[in-house]
Amino acid sequence: MKFDLFLTLACAMMMLFASAYTHTAYAQSIEDGLGGHWTFDEADTNADVAKDALGENDGEIKGAPKIVEGIVGEALSFNGEEDYVVMGPATTGQNLTYAMWIKPVALPDGPKVIIWDDDPQGGGDSWLELLADGTIQTQRNGDGFGVFKTTTAVEAGEWTHVTFVADGDSDKKYLYLNGELDAEADGKINSRDTRSHVVVAVGHDRNAFIKPFYFEGEIDDVAVYHRVLDKAEVKENYQIAFDVEPAGKLAMTWGAIKAR
């Protein structure tokens, strides 16, 4: 009887510890080199702010994106008309990695921006956009990361993990989908030191003369790294959403892991 009581108390303590852990750990499996991480979890997000887990670049919410069930914890749902998040100067240098989960409502009729990084002066742009055929393209030719796109299309209504890696040392660029290398290209990579202005779900929020391209759908767990992630690390970041212990066991993972 005493043993059963002890076991019950021990299990309760473990559950409390696991609950506390979900508010102190990172959703991204890889922490080394993180420059910004926005979980979009309900505990970290309200009508005005999406907190940066590092506490340096809290996102300013524009419009009224809804907090919905995500792939990891909660996500933000953008309406494709006025919703977006401004993170500001969250990147630096030439070696960079952008990583996030996306779930478009439908394939768009034209390019829609997932993440955008620039200053308001023009030039040095770098962004990821979803195209009408479901592929994901980087822009911009000549003054940023150069144009190339995935060979594989994402599916509307399905979660897809997207990672873009810029290696400034070798002038190489890589696009990963769901942890697997999907496309790569050569080309000069400009530094983000004087041009960083990160925005999610829209482009050119401070260049009023350029038409914005609002993303419609859900985005979860956005991370920016100030270094190059290798193939194994990209795969690990993707896999964390599925590393769940069997039913009845405690899974020491950030947030409630959701099925795709």
Question: Which pTM value belongs to this model?
Answer: 0.83
Q: Which residue has the higher pLDDT, 4 or 105?
A: 105
Q: How far apart (Å, rounded) are the C-alpha atoms in residues 192 and 117?
A: 8
80 torsion bin: left (phi>0), alpha (psi -120 to 50), beta (else):
left
Q: How far apart (Å, rounded) are the C-alpha atoms in residues 12 and 44?
A: 25
Q: What does R_g of the chain's alpha carbons equal in angstroms?
A: 19
Residue 207 pLDDT: 74
Residue 131 pLDDT: 96
The domain limits of the chain are 2-242
Q: Is 136 helix (H, G, I), strand (E, B) or coil?
A: strand
Q: How far apart (Å, rounded) are the C-alpha atoms in residues 22 and 107?
A: 33
| Average pLDDT for 243-250 | 38
Q: Is 28 helix (H, G, I), strand (E, B) or coil?
A: coil
pLDDT higher than threshold 80 for residue 33 = yes
pLDDT higher than threshold 80 for residue 237 = yes
Q: What is the DSSP letter of 245?
A: P
Q: How far is CA 166 from CA 23, 138, 195, 198, 230, in A?
A: 30, 11, 15, 15, 11
Sole residue written with tokens 């050569």: 186
Q: What is the mean pLDDT of the chain?
A: 82
CATH code of the region 2-242 = 2.60.120.200
Q: Which residue has the higher pLDDT, 122 or 203?
A: 203
Residue 256 pLDDT: 36
Sole residue written with tokens 């990172």: 26
Residues pairing with 112 in the sheet: 130
Pairing state of beta strands 198-200 and 96-104?
Answer: unpaired
Least confident among 128-132, 140-144, 190-194: 140-144
User: Shortest CA distance to 56 belongs to which of 207, 218, 226?
Assistant: 226
Percent of the chain predicted with pLDDT > 90? 61
